[in-house]
Chain A
């Protein structure tokens, strides 16, 4: 029986986003097909993986992922330089976790200084993330967005509780914006609409449907991503056509599987390889579901994912 490949016809397209200042820019999104379905349409860019760094030393990261950065992680500028120069990071995600009231409660001015220091030391597409304390983030991200004015960064995350302030800060300083909602396609759509109603360009938003790690609810993120992408492409829903973020590192490196010593759980095998695999497998699954921008930590996990992406493009 003759076989005709059942190609899908898509009516929508994911917006293309570019961040950074020429010549140091990266681009993602832009496809008019389901993730990496190059056989039936256009996949113009590969997913971008950003190395996660933070404004304070990574005391709460497990050893496996602390180790590769042990000589540089005391200082965000050397950490960023190391990622850019030695690890060839295409982008860097700076998490201002030290501003969290339960951590060091650093001030918005401190955060702005860290951002300025990094941007004056190296040219790299930068993603600036708050500490996920919606109230504090509002003030921190205003200061950080100003400090990075016109550097075409991504600011995040705007959530239901603080999107007005965070989106205004991104808009005033010419940045892109991450809109995060909690594992619900309708909430995600609603937040995009609210933000665009403020006059924020819908093509400058990145959707974060909320990440979850392998073994800890990844199937929820996976399916919300697939549903968002189907709505964008098959129903041509313009409020769902933003590229998606997988903020993987912070969820993966909290999981027990990335921390438990082999002597405590013999059937789980080597700790270092297990942690790296946990992050890489989480990343690949979400890339298959539709993530175009990923924030990750371990160099070996990133390297392996990049190699497989080479094969997928």
Chain B
């Protein structure tokens, strides 16, 4: 269990020297408890306290970097069970399964598919992050040959090698010695050998339980492996059915966060492969919502990627920072110089709803989205961020005057009160008050167009 503020306070010098930047040691202790400050800020803390606090402040889910270079994936570091409490830290990675029983050509095609999977959405670049090479052939030489093909084609792509035979694993792992791969398949029978190999090749070790062993067995193996000197592990609790994935992932995350149970304080890998692509997407969706750090897929159709990337992006947004869209003039449909111009704020939900309704109206138009620090219209107005002078300035600087011939700006009905003031500040413009709610926009625009 993480220490409370008061417990931390007892370990501090209690001098209230303010060198840490906080007014008192108690205030600093409270910030430490909330993980909003780092112990390094205190110059006078004792070694003993450092050690105790260090253990207690270590993240309940171990931070691990999988892969190296540009495409390295950060995992772990999670501190909460529910995203409304605090942002989920490291978005789960998607890995495409490649069986070594495929032909060379098939393997190369799949690698290319991954390399081409990048999509941009709301300013973020999203992609399939890793490859899971499965030793389906049970043949060490074939596994190594497949790994060679992959490293030649995509040497930066993080790789998971799934093999239960340490000998088979070793040959292919040698190719990835400096690339921090994951070697998945340590169980209670081969743990020592696997730990040895993981240490030699600086790999992350994937721990798997036998059918009946469950989390108890996993905990025993992680402890054993840790004692052998391997610190970076991921856990495959063996869950494959949706119900088991939800149960095991929840218990693992809960044990780590609420009980600070170290043997399960590692990222989780979920094998979601299904024959039916849509069903696979839904199993993956459960993993995204409920604590998987890596999700292995059997196929990465574009439609599926888009849906899964989007869900991951949504679940991993910071609940305390409103999502924002870029300040600019958005074109909806194919507007001409006569098309209407509407204005709203840059809270992403506001933008999505307003732009969606303008599109629904089938009347092409311009939507001026003004940076109000991600606040909605009424809140931004109340906070003095959506004011007549700021709106006037934004419109003038936006360059929209070069795109449209008319000089009419439609403002949200909720800020009707601003219309006179904007007209004063925006010379030559006519301000029209639009509907209060976005769902009134289609009727409003259609009736004007008619």
Compute how far the CA of A6 lies from the CA of B283 in the bound complex, rounded to whole angstroms: 24
Residues of chain A within 8 A (CB-CB) of B278 are 273, 276-277, 280, 300, 304
Residues of B within 8 A of A6 (CB): 251, 254-255, 258-259, 261
Q: Are B82 and A226 in contact (CB under 8 A)?
A: yes
Using CB atoms, name the residue of chain B closest to A255. B356
Asked if B360 contacts A254 (CB within 8 A), the reply is yes
A89, B95: Cα distance in complex, Å: 36
Interface residues of A in 1-60 (CB under 8 A from B): 1-3, 5-6, 8, 36-39, 60
A214 near B314 with CB under 8 A, answer yes
Interface of B is mostly: helix
Cβ contacts B305-319/A at 8 Å (1 or 0 each): 111101101110101
Closest approach, in angstroms, between the C-beta of A235 and any C-beta of chain B? 14
Contact of B304 with A277 in the complex, beta carbons under 8 Å: yes
B206-217 contact mask (Cβ, 8 Å, vs A): 1 or 0 = 000000000110
- Whole-angstrom distance from the CB of A22 to the nearest CB of chain B? 30
Known A-B contacts A219-B317, A226-B82, A255-B356; the reply to A269 vs B303 at CB < 8 A is yes
The reply on A168 being an interface residue by CB < 8 A is no
Interface of chain A residues 244 through 278 with chain B (CB within 8 A): 254-257, 267-270, 273-274, 276-278
A194 interface residue (CB < 8 Å to B): no
Q: A residues within 8 A CB of B286? A: 284, 288, 308, 312
Contacts of A254 in B (CB 8 A): 356, 360
CA distance A289 to B353 in the complex (A): 22
B residues near A280, Cβ cutoff 8 Å:
278, 281-282
Is B443 located at the chain interface by the 8 A CB criterion? yes
Interface residues of B in 431-450 (CB under 8 A from A): 439, 442-443
Complex interface: chain B residues within 8 A of A274 (CB): 302-303, 306-307
Q: Is the CB of B314 within 8 A of A219?
A: yes
Q: Which of B119, B285, B314 contacts A284 (CB 8 A)?
A: B285
Q: Which of B33-41, B137-145, B240-248, B379-387 contacts A (4 or more CB under 8 A)?
A: B240-248
Q: For residue A211, give the distance in angstroms from its CB to the closest CB of chain B.
A: 12
Contact A285 B289 (CB under 8 A): yes
Contacts of B83 in A (CB 8 A): 219, 222-223, 226
* Nearest chain A CB to B69 CB, angstrom units: 24
Chain A residues near B281: list those with CB within 8 A: 277, 280-281
Q: Which residue of B lies closest to A35 (CB)?
A: B246
- Tell yes or no: A218 within 8 A of B by CB: yes
Interface size class of A (residues with CB under 8 A): 35 or more
Given A1-B220, A311-B243, A312-B242, are A288 and B289 also a contact pair (CB < 8 Å)? Answer: yes
A198 within 8 A of B: no
- Cβ-closest chain B residue relative to A286: B289
Cβ distance A143 to chain B, nearest Cβ, rounded Å:
23
The verdict on B128 contacting chain A, using a C-beta distance below 8 Å, is no
A297 CB to nearest chain B CB (Å): 15
Interface 1/0 per residue, B266-284 and A, CB below 8 Å: 0000000000111101110
Interface: B148 (CB within 8 A)? no
Contacts of A219 in B (CB 8 A): 83, 314-315, 317, 319
Q: Do A281 and B282 have beta carbons less than 8 Å apart?
A: yes
Q: Does B202 contact A (CB under 8 A)?
A: no
Asked if A313 lies at the interface with its beta carbon under 8 angstroms from chain B, I say yes
Contact with B along A78-98 (1 / 0, CB 8 A): 000000000000000000000
Contact of B250 with A by CB under 8 A: yes
**Which residues of B lie under 8 Å from residue A132 when comparing CB positions?**
439
Q: Which of B247, B301, B319, B353 contacts A269 (CB 8 A)?
A: B301
- Say yes or no for A215: interface residue by CB 8 A criterion: yes
B165 CB within 8 Å of chain A: no
Cβ of B238 within 8 Å of any chain A Cβ, yes or no, is no
CA distance A60 to B359 in the complex (A): 12
Q: Is B79 an interface residue (CB 8 A)?
A: no
In the assembled complex, the Cα of A19 lies from the Cα of B176 at a distance in Å of 59
B302 touches A3 (CB 8 A): no
B298 at interface, CB cutoff 8 A: no
| Nearest neighbor of B300 in chain A, beta-carbon distance | A269
Interface of chain B residues 401 through 450 with chain A (CB within 8 A): 439, 442-443
A2 to B220, CA, bound (A): 7
Shortest B169–chain A CB gap in Å is 26
CB-contact partner of A277 in B259, B307, B439, under 8 A = B307
A3 touching B219 by the CB < 8 A rule? yes
B104 at the interface (CB under 8 A from A): no
- Contact B84–A227 (Cβ < 8 Å): yes
Would you call A102 an interface residue if the criterion is a C-beta within 8 Å of the partner chain's C-beta atoms? yes
Interface: A207 (CB within 8 A): no
**B246 and A37 contact, CB distance less than 8 A:** yes
Flag if A36 contacts B246 (CB, 8 Å): yes
Give CA–CA (A218, B288) in the complex, Å: 13
- Residue A268 contacts which of B247, B302, B348, B439 (CB distance < 8 angstroms)? B302
Contact with B along A128-143 (1 / 0, CB 8 A): 0000100000000000
A37-B246, A269-B301 are contacts. A256–B306 as well, Cβ < 8 Å? no
A288 touches B290 (CB 8 A): yes
**Chain B residues within an 8 Å CB radius of A212:** 349
| B372 interfacial by beta-carbon distance below 8 Å | no
Task: Check A308 against B283 for contact (C-beta < 8 Å).
Answer: yes
**Chain A residues positioned under 8 Å from B442 (CB to CB):** 102
The chain A residue sitting closest to B220, CB to CB, is A1
Contact status A273-B303, CB under 8 Å: yes
- A233 and B442 CA atoms in complex are apart in Å by 41
- With both beta carbons as reference points, the residue of chain A lying nearest to B356 in the complex is identified as A254
**In whole Å, how far is B8's beta carbon from the nearest beta carbon of chain A?**
23
Complex CA distance for A304 and B314, rounded to whole angstroms: 22
Residues of B near A220 (CB, < 8 A) are 349
Judged by a CB distance under 8 angstroms, whether A206 is at the interface is: no
Chain B residues lying within 8 Å of A215, measured Cβ to Cβ, are 121, 310, 313-314
Residues on the B chain within 8 Å of A214, using CB: 307, 310-311, 314
Assess the A267–B119 pair: CB atoms within 8 A.
yes
Contact A305 B247 (CB under 8 A): no
Q: List 5 A-B contacts (CB under 8 A).
A: A3-B255, A215-B313, A256-B359, A257-B306, A304-B279
Q: Footprint of B on A, CB under 8 Å?
A: 1-3, 5-6, 8, 36-39, 60, 102, 132, 212, 214-220, 222-223, 226-227, 230, 254-257, 267-270, 273-274, 276-278, 280-281, 284-285, 288-289, 300, 304-305, 307-308, 311-313
Q: Which 9 A-B pairs have the closest CB atoms?
A: A269-B302, A274-B303, A311-B242, A269-B303, A102-B443, A223-B84, A3-B219, A219-B314, A215-B310
